[in-house]
Amino acid sequence: MYEIDPDRLDLAREFRDKPFGRHSGELQRVINRMRAGSNAGRLVLVTLERHKRWGLGRMGAQPGDPIAPVPGYEFTSYEEAEWAVFKLRWQALTGRELALD
Protein backbone atom coordinates (compact mmCIF):
# COMPACT_ATOMS: atom_id res chain seq x y z
CA MET A 1 0.00 0.00 0.00
CA TYR A 2 1.36 3.39 -0.98
CA GLU A 3 1.82 5.74 1.96
CA ILE A 4 1.58 9.47 1.46
CA ASP A 5 4.64 11.36 2.67
CA PRO A 6 3.30 14.34 4.63
CA ASP A 7 6.47 16.27 3.90
CA ARG A 8 5.85 16.22 0.16
CA LEU A 9 4.09 19.57 0.12
CA ASP A 10 5.29 20.04 -3.43
CA LEU A 11 2.76 17.41 -4.47
CA ALA A 12 -0.02 19.22 -2.65
CA ARG A 13 0.93 22.43 -4.40
CA GLU A 14 0.92 20.65 -7.74
CA PHE A 15 -2.60 19.41 -7.11
CA ARG A 16 -3.82 22.77 -5.87
CA ASP A 17 -2.53 24.43 -9.01
CA LYS A 18 -4.03 21.84 -11.35
CA PRO A 19 -6.53 19.38 -9.88
CA PHE A 20 -7.56 17.93 -13.27
CA GLY A 21 -5.44 16.65 -16.11
CA ARG A 22 -1.84 15.46 -16.38
CA HIS A 23 -0.03 15.05 -13.08
CA SER A 24 3.42 13.94 -12.03
CA GLY A 25 3.71 10.25 -11.34
CA GLU A 26 4.15 10.79 -7.63
CA LEU A 27 1.12 13.05 -7.33
CA GLN A 28 -0.94 10.50 -9.25
CA ARG A 29 -0.04 7.93 -6.61
CA VAL A 30 -1.25 10.29 -3.91
CA ILE A 31 -4.49 10.87 -5.75
CA ASN A 32 -4.98 7.17 -6.46
CA ARG A 33 -4.57 6.39 -2.77
CA MET A 34 -7.08 9.06 -1.85
CA ARG A 35 -9.67 7.91 -4.37
CA ALA A 36 -9.28 4.15 -3.92
CA GLY A 37 -11.06 1.91 -1.51
CA SER A 38 -14.55 1.43 -0.28
CA ASN A 39 -17.46 3.76 -0.94
CA ALA A 40 -18.49 3.78 2.71
CA GLY A 41 -17.90 7.31 3.93
CA ARG A 42 -16.57 8.52 0.59
CA LEU A 43 -16.64 12.30 0.31
CA VAL A 44 -18.79 13.47 -2.59
CA LEU A 45 -20.21 16.68 -3.94
CA VAL A 46 -23.86 17.50 -3.42
CA THR A 47 -25.36 19.91 -5.91
CA LEU A 48 -26.86 22.91 -4.14
CA GLU A 49 -27.50 24.96 -7.24
CA ARG A 50 -26.93 23.42 -10.67
CA HIS A 51 -23.63 24.56 -12.20
CA LYS A 52 -23.16 27.14 -9.42
CA ARG A 53 -22.89 25.85 -5.87
CA TRP A 54 -21.97 22.55 -4.28
CA GLY A 55 -21.82 21.21 -0.77
CA LEU A 56 -20.00 18.22 0.64
CA GLY A 57 -21.50 14.88 1.61
CA ARG A 58 -20.53 11.36 2.56
CA MET A 59 -21.79 8.16 1.00
CA GLY A 60 -23.32 5.58 3.28
CA ALA A 61 -22.17 2.07 3.99
CA GLN A 62 -24.48 0.38 1.50
CA PRO A 63 -25.63 1.18 -2.03
CA GLY A 64 -28.77 3.22 -1.82
CA ASP A 65 -27.94 4.78 1.52
CA PRO A 66 -28.62 8.52 1.55
CA ILE A 67 -25.77 10.98 1.24
CA ALA A 68 -25.04 12.46 4.66
CA PRO A 69 -24.31 16.18 4.47
CA VAL A 70 -20.94 17.37 5.75
CA PRO A 71 -21.71 20.79 7.20
CA GLY A 72 -19.50 23.79 6.79
CA TYR A 73 -18.54 23.45 3.15
CA GLU A 74 -19.83 25.29 0.14
CA PHE A 75 -18.03 25.56 -3.16
CA THR A 76 -18.52 27.64 -6.26
CA SER A 77 -16.16 25.68 -8.50
CA TYR A 78 -15.09 22.08 -8.94
CA GLU A 79 -11.45 23.09 -8.47
CA GLU A 80 -12.22 24.62 -5.09
CA ALA A 81 -14.06 21.46 -4.04
CA GLU A 82 -11.25 19.17 -5.17
CA TRP A 83 -8.74 21.13 -3.15
CA ALA A 84 -10.88 21.09 -0.01
CA VAL A 85 -11.35 17.34 -0.25
CA PHE A 86 -7.66 16.81 -1.00
CA LYS A 87 -6.80 18.56 2.25
CA LEU A 88 -9.33 16.52 4.23
CA ARG A 89 -8.02 13.28 2.80
CA TRP A 90 -4.41 14.33 3.31
CA GLN A 91 -5.08 14.84 6.98
CA ALA A 92 -7.03 11.60 7.27
CA LEU A 93 -4.29 9.56 5.59
CA THR A 94 -1.19 11.20 7.06
CA GLY A 95 -2.50 12.41 10.38
CA ARG A 96 -1.09 15.80 9.59
CA GLU A 97 -2.98 18.93 8.65
CA LEU A 98 -2.11 20.21 5.22
CA ALA A 99 -1.09 23.83 5.45
CA LEU A 100 0.58 25.55 2.52
CA ASP A 101 2.08 29.01 2.32
Work out which of 1, 37, 61, 97 binds other proteins, going by CB under 8 A.
Answer: 37
**81, containing H or E segment:** helix 78-94
Work out which of 1, 17, 61, 64 binds other proteins, going by CB under 8 A.
Answer: 64
Burial class, 57, CB count within 10 angstroms (exposed 0-12 / middle 13-18 / buried 19+) = middle
Tell me the sheet residues that pair with 3.
none
Check binding of 78 to other proteins (CB under 8 A). yes
Q: Which residues bind other proteins (CB under 8 A)?
A: 20-23, 25, 28, 31-32, 35-39, 42-47, 50-51, 54, 57, 59, 63-64, 66-67, 78, 81-82, 85
